[in-house]
Amino acid sequence: MSTKLTLTIEKEVIDIAKKYAKEKGQSLSEMVENYFKFVTVKRMKIKEKELSPKVRKLRGIIKVDENFDYKQILTEELSKKYGV
């Protein structure tokens, strides 16, 4: 079911968006709808990656130095392991 939505956007942006939509063979409404779908699906995927209660409980249990560089240590250890 479609519902009307009124937006206030700068005229220049609307003109550019209309031109782009025409080039892509879409209406401006379709473009806006697709954008909202993209943003909300992306947000849902982020929620799926939330920590489980068990992992959340363990979070922060180990204290590391402020200068701890996980990526640097991982790189060094993988280099040692694979002889790179």
Under DSSP, is residue 63 helix (H, G, I), strand (E, B) or coil? coil
When pLDDT is cut at 50, 70 and 90, the band that residue 74 belongs to is: confident
Q: Phi, psi at residue 24, to the nearest 5°? A: -90, -5
The pLDDT of residue 16 = 93
List, for residues 21-41, the tens digit of each pLDDT value.
999 899 999 999 988 888 777
- pLDDT at position 49 over 60: yes
Contact 84, 78 (CB under 8 A): yes
Crossing angle of helices 28-48 and 11-24, rounded to 10°: 90
Contact 17, 31 (CB under 8 A): yes
Q: What sign results for the dihedral spanned by CA atoms 67, 52, 61, 80?
A: negative
List, for residues 59-72, the tens digit of each pLDDT value.
788 888 888 888 88
pTM: 0.47
